[in-house]
Chain A
Amino acid sequence: MERMQQVVGRARAAFNSGRSRPLEFRIQQLKALERMVQEKEKEILAALHADLHKDGPNAYSQEILGVLTELALAMEQLPSWAAPQHVKKDLLTMRDDIFINPEPLGVVLIIGAWNYPFMLVIMPLIGAIAAGNAVVVKPSEVSENTAQLVAELLPQYLDRELYPVVTGGVPETTELLAQRFDHILYTGNTAVGKIVMAAAAKHLTPVTLELGGKSPCYIDKDCDLAVACRRITWGKYMNCGQTCIAPDYILCDPSIQGKVVENIKATLQEFYGEDVKSSPDYERIINKRHFKRVLGLLEGQKIAHGGEADEASCFIAPTILTDVSPESKVMEEEIFGPVLPIVPVKSVEEAIEFINRREKPLALYVFSNNKQVIRRVIAETSSGGMTGNDVIMHSVVPNLPFGGVGHSGMGAYRGKYTFKTFSHHRACLIKDLKMEAVNKLRYPPVSQKKVDL
């Protein structure tokens, strides 16, 4: 389609003009982005509410706070991130200038997801702008109100040619992926991740894929169950379970299963009150298709708590399943909903084995008073990231890279890692045209003396 080619072509021409390279320009754009987030806070929160029934303080802390923090960090650190990095020299290069030069890649593409629809396009955008690139932004069409808003707002605050927003569904995205980009950052599911990488391969475009999977949560017998369950409840049911790093399922000893359920139930009451449906702090499933999908996972399961649903409002109550079989449907795919299966295991060895038999997850959680248990789980498993004795929180540490491994993704971003992801680190060696004597050692003809030297 003409349109995609034109948009990307314009972005490339704008990049080639060189105007996105000076640090002053980049900071000016980041400041404008910051103004946009501050001035249009109400509109952004309204869009998030319309898409996901996310309410004010919740939406703010989930999607706006993180963005503002990232903007402040980028503007603060940009001069140091963008500065040439001098490296260790050796005897032969003592008099030379040797450094790694961070440079923009060119025109990059950011494809967002619908679950944190504002944050998942704006966060990477910050680093991509900071690195001096032109950026094509493609928000998820599933969260249509936020997509619409981003498409309206970005051109009002940012350079229109350098940072265009493209909207649309599968056909538009497919056409977009046929264009040549210098990096693609995609957030979404594994199946589409493969499609994005295959499209990127045609142009030898590097990719960062932020995918998903089933993030396991192991609860050791030796732990403060009340605290553990409160933290797990918070991470599992926020955004109605639609979080890529939500604890997907629990692994614990059958003897504590009952207590785990009791503690989670108590916490749910504390968080959402007697009638969850009327709590302003509890979200909804994004659309009917996902609603049906998640509800379908309850079939044949032992529902220890919850299970109520209302299709009209895409409401599914916070649900807990017990004695779940590893072969059941709910243990096959990433749940991405407010359903928490508990799979009994007899020991930490069994838990580790269980985890390692499956695809590497985006996040991994382990709760224990015993540091050795936590260290062991970290050492004997692999995952994108992990948190011990809490959930989600590793994703808010500003200096930890955030990304997956194996089926949960490749590459990482956040903070300086976003800047690095969207930069080319060019190795530079600048020598003197004089001092040729030293070079003579390496030239032919060769005598044994030279070899020994």
Chain B
Amino acid sequence: NPYAGLVSHLRASWLSGKTRPMEYRMAQLEALGRFLDEKKQEILEATDLDMGKPSFEAYFTEILLCKNELNTTLNNLCHWMKDEYVEKNLVLQLDSAFIRKDPYGVVLIMAPWNYPIQLVLVPLIGAIAAGNCVIIKPSEISKNTERLLAETLSCYLDTDCFAVVTGGVQETTRLLENKFDYIFFTGSPRVGRIVMTAAAKHLTPVTLELGGKNPCYVSDTCDLSNVARRVAWGRFFNAGQTCIAPDYLLCTLEMQEKLMPALREAITEFFGSNPKESPDFGRIVGDKQFRRLRALLCSGRVAIGGQTDEAERYIAPTVLADVQPSDPAMQEEIFGPILPIVVVANMDEAIDFINARPRPLAIYAFSCDSKVVNQVLERTSSGGFCGNDTLMHFTLNSLPFGGIGNSGLGKYHGKFTFDTFSHHRGCLHRNMGLEALNTPRYPPYTQQKMGLLTATFEVKRKGTCTLL
């Protein structure tokens, strides 16, 4: 077991208790803040090399969003760490009942390649804040960022408690043989199953941030150009390599015709007449992924874009019209700058279409009629939901971010990350005196004692529920 030494080293640090004091956690988090400030250029360069990430996007997603999480955590850590006192029943009135937030111990964070800094740092911030030791496993596919993290994080964080492990499938498999106290995984459902199966051997709790096909329903009553811009922005951000990107559009035939010129206009507005020359449009991360995406282009008909360049791993912002459910683009999560449009007769058909498929990470619905948006919300299930926009629910760290069913289990962002990496321990601190109060519970049991017990323990209905 090649990682046994590393894991036991971290476990020894954990057992020493050094990650527990708030001052220690704050100091490590401040160091992460310095990493983001001092290595900003390196981060922008590495993500550019890895997938041609436009620097605006890289700054926004890899630096700004991380700093927000960091500041939210630093501002609130003291409060989050406090014991939460709870309401008690009659018999416990003189006692102290509270929830203590205990760190788990040594946790593992496995990150993917598409937002390689953010998807390491945001969980890491919560894991450190919660008092754990952490092993970080960045994706080997975004090799420049992997190298950056492996080489520089150790200059900022305490190497006794935080380590970066690099490598591919073999190394990850060996790593997963070890016992961790929590595993946080972001990636595909297929690998999510492998991670959870490995975790089951040690009864390690997990958070799995997975993916799926995020449907985007556009109703007939909507502001065409705003819809087109918001959808195009969400779809083509990071060249489509975003877990919550609108994966495919559902709308009527009429709407498909109307949307097309609006989408064309939005794309031109964003990337100019030749997106290949725009500094604001990214590239596909690797050759394998490029080829996979290119094969999806034979779905429906190419209405916008469709150009590719293998040498640059460039796929133009593309919209496919008249796509059939049986087409290649509808068989897997796209994860690229291709937007298929599937025609449906009406909202009910769109909802049925969505519900016949695995529950996605996000669902989008566009309509000027709020009743339509609410209908889609109420009659479907997904990790998160955004009405009349795309991606934006992700940026609010007061909202939990996570999937359901195939798109994942657990959630994070803001306080939810801290809670994810803490064990909420129910604690009751009783008085050693007043033993007389305990008498009703002791044998020998009598009806009289039963009456007393019921009176002191039960929760009475306050009144009839107003719904009935």
Residues of A within 8 A of B (CB): 16, 23-24, 27-28, 55-58, 60-61, 65, 68-69, 72-73, 75-76, 78-79, 87-90, 93, 97-98, 100-101, 103, 105-106, 182, 190, 193-194, 197-198, 200-202, 204-206, 209, 211, 223-224, 227-228, 230-231, 234, 270-273, 279-282, 356, 367, 369, 371, 374, 378-380, 382-390, 393-403, 405-407, 409-412, 424-434, 436, 439, 442-446, 450-451
Contact = CB atoms under 8 A, between A and B. Distances in A.
A445 B430 contact: no
B405 A399 contact: no
A397 B430 contact: no
B200 interface: yes
Contact of B450 (A60, A270, A271, A426): A60
Contacts of B240: none
A386 B427 contact: yes
Nearest to B425: A385
A450 B56 contact: yes
Contacts of A78: 465
A88 B68 CA distance: 14
Give the dominant DSSP class at A's interface. mixed
Nearest to A384: B425
Interface string B75-95: 000000000001111001000
Interface residues of B, number: 111
Given A427-B400, A430-B370, A230 B435 contact: yes
B207 to A, nearest CB: 10
A452 to B, nearest CB: 11
A444 B54 contact: yes
B159 interface: no
A-B pairs, top 4 by smallest CB distance, nearest first, are A400-B426, A444-B280, A201-B196, A197-B200
Interface of B: 15, 17, 20, 54, 56, 59-60, 86-89, 92, 97, 99-100, 102, 104-105, 181, 189, 192-193, 196-197, 199-201, 203, 205, 208, 210, 222-223, 225-227, 229-230, 233, 269-272, 278-281, 355, 366-368, 370, 373, 377, 381-389, 392-393, 396, 398-401, 404-406, 408-411, 423-433, 435, 438, 441-447, 449-450, 453-454, 457-462, 465-468
A431 B427 contact: no
Contacts of B405: 106, 182, 204
A443 B270 contact: yes
Given A206-B410, A399-B87, 20 more contacts: A65-B458, A227-B435, A230-B438, A378-B100, A393-B92, A398-B87, A398-B459, A400-B427, A405-B104, A405-B425, A424-B381, A425-B411, A427-B396, A429-B384, A429-B385, A429-B396, A431-B388, A436-B223, A444-B54, A445-B272
A93 B396 contact: yes
A202 B193 contact: yes
Given A75-B461, A211-B203, A378-B427, A429 B89 contact: no
Contact of B385 (A182, A380, A427, A444): A427
Contacts of A282: 443
Contact of B92 (A79, A204, A397): A397
Contacts of A446: 54, 56, 279-280
Given A410-B205, A433-B388, A436-B226, A230 B432 contact: no
Contact of B458 (A72, A395, A424): A72
B97 A197 contact: no
Give the residue among A24, A69, A193, A224 with the most B Cβ atoms within 10 A.
Answer: A69
